[in-house]
Amino acid sequence: MNKIEHIGIAVKDLDESCRLYEKLLGTAAYKRESVISEGVDTAFFLTGENKIELLSAAAEDSAIASFIAKRGEGIHHIAFDVDDIYAEMIRLKNEGFVLLSEEPKFGADNKLICFVHPKGTKGVLVELCQEIK
């Protein structure tokens, strides 16, 4: 894995949270994007080299909605940039980690993504992401 690509934060209200994070970070979101397959609306902020992704539920049955219902708003996942997501998925599987999908999915911000189950990572939902070139 190369570096932390972004930190995902689950929020209830994306518009209100965007205004808050604009104030906090002193910069506007550079991208808003809905990922229909995941049932989420996202907004991305860039601070120096670091990215923050805000996620809100686009549907009541989305994973973000149940996360917020259970744990409230807050840090949802840490995403790591990888060069070859397929190779990394095989490596992690062989190490005994549980992946949440068998194949990479299309995520926000032009990425192929796969999540690693938080039960095997001390409670942290880990996202692998590979930029689509």
Q: By the criterion CB under 5 A, which residues form the site for Zn ion?
A: 8, 53, 79, 127
Rank residues 53 and 88 by Cβ distance to Zn ion and give the closer one.
Answer: 53
**Residue with nearest beta carbon to Zn ion:** 8
19 or 76: CB nearest Zn ion: 76
**Shortest distance, position 84 Cβ to Zn ion, whole Å:** 18
Q: Measured from the CB atom, is 59 or 105 closer to Zn ion?
A: 105
Question: For Zn ion, which is the closer residue by CB, 9 or 96?
Answer: 9
What's the rounded Cα separation, in Å, for the pair 42 and 116? 20
Shortest distance, CB of residue 78 to Zn ion, whole angstroms?
A: 9
- Structure-token match 């995941």, residue found: 38
CB of 127 to Zn ion, least distance (A): 5
